[in-house]
Amino acid sequence: MHRAPMLADLSSAYLRNAAAMWAALAPSGTTATETWFDVDQPRIRRRIYFSPPAPGEVVRWLQRGPATKMLVAEHAFDAAPTVPGAAVYTMPMMVRPPGPTPPDEAPGVRVESVGDAARLEAAERLIVESFPTRAYLPYQPGQFLPAATLSVPGFRVWVAYRDGSPAAAGYTYDDGTVVGLYSLATAPEHRRRGAGRALLAAAFAAYPDQPFTLTATASGRSLYDALGFLPVATTTWHMRPARTV
């Protein structure tokens, strides 16, 4: 039976969902303690803090990371030192309580949950090139969403097709407490046509009794507001680009 957390708990629930999602995708490339979680991906090394990092800890972690990878340190705590050579992004962490699925207002848009390798690759390419996910450019199949994604319990990749063409894509991870939404992207030629909204409506319908969490980019905030997401915290990302190729 799913446990619906209180709004005050959802910043922690989001961070735990993200860690569980990466652990499910890359079980051999993760390390965890009580206070942080690390995952090593082909082009990115990521750290998620569950509690406030000690003074200087983020700086040290970014400085000793491999030069060949982008480094991302993520947390939801106010104390956030600047790090030489790293960009700092702050974004609202948002939650949508369980509720009715919004009506489909996008004629010509069809949404499906991906079930085969060809559609997974199409979704992966759309996300990498349209978000854009810069660490994974130029695009190479299977590096951002490996084929194993299709068999990970709780993990679903969604694609919205508009007039038969892939228009929007993203993925969700259900950890039994909340459903995390990640990397929702719409191809430039399909933006403002309802594809992203239709994709979210399909995901809500698949999990009608669970809250959804996400980190909102500026471009997606108006859609999330309109669909009932509420800001519960601010997340800070320190991103240091790869120094060599």
Domain locations in the chain as residue ranges: 7-94+234-240, 96-232
Q: How confident is the model at residue 3 (pLDDT cuts 50, 70, 90)?
A: very low
Separation between Cα atoms, residue 14 and residue 212, nearest integer Å: 9
Residue 44, CA distances (Å) to 123, 139, 240 in order: 19, 14, 10
Q: Which residue has the higher pLDDT, 106 or 194?
A: 194
Average pLDDT over residues 37-60: 91
Has residue 134 got a pLDDT over 50? yes
Residue 78's pLDDT is 66
pTM for this entry: 0.90
The correct answer on CATH 3.40.190.10 for the domain covering 96-232 is no
Question: Which residue spans within the chain are E strands per DSSP?
Answer: 30-32, 36-40, 44-49, 70-75, 87-96, 109-113, 155-162, 165-174, 179-186, 212-215, 230-240
Residue 42's pLDDT is 84
Residue 85's pLDDT is 80
Condensed to tens digits (0 to 9), the pLDDT of residues 138-157 reads 999 999 999 989 999 999 99
Q: How confident is the model at residue 81 (pLDDT cuts 50, 70, 90)?
A: low
Separation between Cα atoms, residue 203 and residue 18, nearest integer Å: 17
Average pLDDT over residues 42-58: 90
Q: Count of CB atoms within 10 A of residue 189's CB?
A: 10
By CB neighbour count within 10 A (0-12 exposed, 13-18 middle, 19+ buried), where does 93 fall?
buried
Average pLDDT over residues 25-41: 89
Chain Cα centroid distance, residue 48? 13
Q: How confident is the model at residue 2 (pLDDT cuts 50, 70, 90)?
A: very low
Pick from 8, 25, 6, 5: which is nearest to 183 by CA? 25
